[in-house]
Amino acid sequence: MRRWVPVFVLILLGVIAGPVASAPVVAAPTGSDALRVDLDEILADPRLAGSHAGVVVRDPETDELLYSRQPEARATPASTAKLFTAAAALEQLGPDHRFRTEVRATAPSAGPLLLGDLYLRGTGDPTTLAADYDRLAEQVAASGVRSVQGRLLTDDSWFDDVPLGTGWAWDDEPYHYAAPVSALTVAPNTDFDAGTVLLRVSPTAAGTPVRVDSEPATDAVRVDVRATTGEPGSASTLSVTREHGGDRVVVSGSVPEDAEPVEEFTSVPDPSAYAADVFARALRAHGVHVAGTGSGTVPEGARTIAEHESMPLRELLVPFLKLSNNGHAEVLTKAMGRQARGEGSWPAGVEVLADRLAGLGVDPATLRLVDGSGLSSMDAVSPGRLALLLDNVRQRPWFADFHAALPVAANPDRFVGGTLRNRMAGTAAAGNVHAKTGSITGVTTLSGYVTAANGRPLVFAVMFNDFLSDSPNDLEDAIAVRLAEYSGAAGRPRGIPAVPRQNTAEVSGESGLECSWTKSC
């Protein structure tokens, strides 16, 4: 039997329950919710499967954590470790710090004859060019000295005698990005790749040996030329390799006759001997005779007859951070140890680095740094600590120098764009993102600053470790671009920004190192 229900009851039920068949309404993600959705989608890329992916995004003006994934999980930072070193060096040494190189004599000059030894003493300057040694020699000649009865002795005792960092790979030792660290050295170019020699390999006639010139001219390495000139249009098979632990550089393979000269860098085994060789040549060019070279410590009472000062640290930061120069990081680390502890060593320098980080609000117990450059596989930091550092240093008086020294996305000027010069072009991040890159095999990192579309400054840290694919740094770029587009208001960009995959050859060498370390950028 059908039961009738009064119409007014049905109307009442409809008012209370609403339309029976209507679907639940789900609000579209807005603001930071939309940002989290988009970053999650970027990080869902299959290349990151089984790898470590840590990301932190902060609004430093509100202390709001806009995004966080594995914020305190430590991983290998690669060259983003240089952010810690740069900040600590600015705190400890100061932006006006300069490195000093001196020429001292142990006896007064009796006319043109120096009755004693001539000392070349360094304090770690990684920017000393052959031209600077030439100017030192010019000063010596201007003092009236024409002949040194004793020898030219190098004093590199400002630092210890440990040339390579803890945890550096043994097979990196011959290459320029792992050049030995010394208080006395030579840079072959204005990238200031201290402790290295530039070898220029030029083809001659087909079937004959190639020509190899060094810059600067030096006997710090012995060049064994085995390479020949190939037929025009033939493939280049050139190899330039310093033998591990020795000073012989083997140049082998072939260069086609119609090819342009090829430039290759090699580290030297003894930077102090390299400096002595370059300086002795400069002295001879200025008419000053030196019987021989050696090493020694400047005795008390020796007088200074020539001196050279480096650029200030605020200027050195540019090649250091823009081009990710490992040697600069290690020199600054040892210099901090020397200044604060009286010991120019990695252990002393790392202790000072930790002290300065603590003063910047970063607990050194939450990370491990054994060098200054991030070249060591033993370094371990988290994206949360990187982001916190970037946040806190904004209040320091030297922050403008620090920020200006960071690579700028898509700026083609090598000393502005640095290691980001070929990345994020044509996006909201171009000219906006100021960030430090990092990459070694299985590691890519990016940490820095970006101004969002709503005008808010943001700090971010991205760390990818243990991936097996080619470098997924396009995902770092996608994150940075998304942050540049962040409005903080309702709505979201139309899909995740498309950032072209980088050509791996542009970004890393065969070992997965940063392009600046392989000279391919």
- Annotated catalytic sites, by residue? 79, 82, 324
SS3 at position 373? coil
Whether the Cβ atoms of residue 433 and residue 450 lie closer than 8 Å to each other: yes
509 vs 490: CA distance, rounded Å: 43
Joined together, the tokens standing for residue 129 give 């060019």
82 vs 320: CA distance, rounded Å: 9
Q: Does the N-terminal peptide bond of residue 216 adopt cis geometry, omega within 30 degrees of 0? A: yes
What is the number of alpha carbons within 13 Å of residue 332 lying toward its C-beta? 32
Whether the Cβ atoms of residue 147 and residue 114 lie closer than 8 Å to each other: yes
Joined together, the tokens standing for residue 32 give 């930071």
Q: Please work out, in degrees rounded to the nearest 5, the angle formed at the alpha carbon of residue 410 by the alpha carbons of 406 and 416.
A: 40
Whether the Cβ atoms of residue 180 and residue 118 lie closer than 8 Å to each other: no
Of 234, 251, 254, nearest to 242 (Cα)? Answer: 251
Percent helix / strand / coil, the chain, rounded to 5: 30, 25, 45
The pairing of strands 293-295 and 64-69 is unpaired
Joined together, the tokens standing for residue 481 give 């671009």
Q: Which residue type sits at 414?
A: R
Joined together, the tokens standing for residue 383 give 């994206």
Whether the Cβ atoms of residue 302 and residue 314 lie closer than 8 Å to each other: no
Whether the Cβ atoms of residue 298 and residue 155 lie closer than 8 Å to each other: yes
226 vs 240: CA distance, rounded Å: 10
The CA-to-CA distance between both ends of the chain, in Å, stands at 87
**Helix axis angle, 346-359 to 326-341, nearest 10°:** 80
469 vs 13: CA distance, rounded Å: 60
Joined together, the tokens standing for residue 339 give 């200044």
Q: Which residue type sits at 255?
A: V
Of 406, 504, 491, 412, nearest to 450 (Cα)? Answer: 406
253 vs 415: CA distance, rounded Å: 33
Q: Please work out, in degrees rounded to the nearest 5, the angle formed at the alpha carbon of residue 261 by the alpha carbons of 258 and 267.
A: 150
Q: Which residue type sits at 118?
A: L
